[in-house]
Amino acid sequence: MKFLKFTLYIFLPVLLLNSCRDYVEVEPVGNNRILKYTSDYRGLANNYNDMTSSGGIYLLSNADAEFPTTYQNGVSTIWGNSYTWQDRIYDPSQGDADWIGLYKAVYYSNVILNGVMGSEKGTDAEKKEIYAEAFVHRAFAYLQLVNTYGPQFDPASANSEKAVPLLLKPELFSSLERSTVGQVYDQIISDLKDALANDIQDSPQFNVLPSKRAVYALLARTYLYMGSYQLSLDNAEKALAMQNGLIDLNSLATGFSYPVLIQNPEVIFSKTLLNGYVGIPLSNDLLNSFETNDLRYNFYTMAGTNFFPTYTGRGFGIPRYSQTTGINVGVSVPEMYLIAAECYARLGQTQKAIDNLNIVRAKRYKSGQTYQVSASISKEALDLVLVERQKEFIGKGFRWFDQKRLNLDPAYQKTYTRVFKGQTYTLAPNSAGYVFPINQNYIDLNPELGK
The per-residue b/e assignment along 87-107, b for 16 or more CB within 10 angstroms, e otherwise, is eebbeeeebbbbbbbbbbbbb
HSE at residue 12, side-chain half, CA atoms within 13 A, is 15
- pLDDT for 23 equals 35
Question: Rounded distance, CA 183 to CA 372, Å?
Answer: 41
Nearest to 49 by CA among 275, 232, 218: 275
CB neighbours (10 Å) of residue 154?
17
Is the separation of the CB atoms in 373 and 398 below 8 Å?
A: no
d(CA 255, CA 298): 7
Query: What pLDDT sits at residue 99?
Result: 96
The pLDDT of residue 451: 81
Residue 189 to residue 113: CA distance in whole angstroms:
16
Closest CA to 95 of 20, 16, 173, 177: 20
Nearest to 412 by CA among 383, 444, 372, 433: 383
* CATH for 3-250+329-444, options being 1.10.600.10, 1.10.10.10, 1.25.40.390, 3.40.50.1000: 1.25.40.390
Task: Tell me whether residue 216 is exposed, middle or buried, using C-beta atoms within 10 angstroms of its C-beta: 0 to 12, 13 to 18, 19 or more.
Answer: buried
Do you find a cis peptide bond into 410, omega within 30 degrees of 0?
no
pLDDT given for residue 179 in this prediction: 98
pLDDT in tens, the chain (451 residues): 332 333 232 222 223 233 333 333 333 333 445 899 999 999 999 998 899 989 999 999 999 999 999 999 999 999 999 999 999 999 988 999 999 999 999 999 999 999 999 999 999 999 999 999 999 999 999 999 999 999 999 999 999 999 999 999 998 777 899 999 999 999 999 999 999 999 999 989 999 999 999 999 999 999 999 999 999 999 999 999 999 999 999 999 999 999 999 999 999 999 999 888 988 999 999 999 999 999 999 999 999 999 989 999 999 999 999 888 789 999 999 999 999 999 999 999 999 999 999 999 999 999 999 999 999 999 999 999 999 999 999 999 999 999 999 999 999 999 999 999 999 999 999 999 999 999 999 999 899 998 8
Residues 166 and 184: beta-carbon distance below 8 Å:
yes
DSSP state of 280: P
Q: What local confidence, expressed as pLDDT, does residue 276 receive?
A: 86
Question: Helices 181-197 and 124-149: crossing angle, nearest 10°?
Answer: 160
163 and 178 Cβ atoms separated by less than 8 Å: yes
Q: What is the pLDDT of residue 33?
A: 56
E strand spans, 151-297: 162-165, 173-175, 178-180
Q: Cα–Cα distance between 201 and 212 in angstroms, integer?
A: 6
- C-alpha span between 109 and 5 (Å, rounded): 18
Residue 224 is inside which H or E element, if any?
helix 212-226
In terms of DSSP bridges, do strands 162-165 and 178-180 run parallel, antiparallel, or are they unpaired? Answer: antiparallel
